[in-house]
Amino acid sequence: DNTEEFQAKNLHQALQKIGRVQATVDANVKISTHHLLISGLRQKDIERLLQKKRSGSRATFTDDQVLFEIMPGNAHEQLIMFLHPNFAKAMEAANCPMTRSTWVAIGATSSKGQFCGKEPDWGVRPIAPGTSGATNPPPAGERWPSLVVEVGTSQSHASLQRDARWWWNNSGGATKLILLFKIEDTPGFAVEV
């Protein structure tokens, strides 16, 4: 219901619009998540748009449209930044340190599903023995993260559950664990897992 549609003539115009919306959302904590549907771009421009990672936004995309979910506040990004070092410590304690090149954190790397693609808030994918790690494109069987984290600040619990179903259904079961964090900051502060 709160999705703004924007017909972009080129990549530069799309980037300017995203920047304006992000600035408005960041300046007003009372704004809930803003959805911006961008259409009119060529496939090459969509790919370039998705390559630029933006703090506070995630994208769902098809071959001819990109839906940006632009989130307010710092709680969302702070939780995601907290995850990586703590997950790395937990994996090290389980005798599976990142230095063994058996897994890599993927951040908001895009995955392409049957009808559209999606970026997780954070994720982990295994590295098969013999591959050189995260700097090379992974083989087809490794493209899906095995662990996905989705964080919702103004996103509803039902919307987070839809995200979880998307990862499970589109990965063909390659995504084994989906953690959902629902952040409530009124009244008080709470995180529902």
Contact 111, 143 (CB under 8 A): yes
User: How many alpha carbons lie under 13 Å from residue 37 in its C-beta half-sphere?
Assistant: 9
Splitting the chain (193 residues) into consecutive groups of 10 residues, what average pLDDT does each group show? 85 90 75 81 87 72 83 66 82 81 75 78 77 50 80 79 90 90 74 76
| Amino acid 178: pLDDT | 92
| Amino acid 133: pLDDT | 47
- The answer for 52, left when phi > 0, alpha when psi is -120 to 50, beta otherwise, is beta
d(CA 18, CA 1) in angstroms, rounded, equals 18
CB within 8 A of 137, min separation 6: which ones?
none
| Amino acid 7: pLDDT | 94
| Amino acid 83: pLDDT | 77
| Amino acid 50: pLDDT | 80
Q: What is the pTM of this model?
A: 0.62
Quote the tokens at residue 39. 């259409």
Nearest to 159 by CA among 107, 121, 123: 121
Contact 60, 118 (CB under 8 A): yes
| Amino acid 1: pLDDT | 55
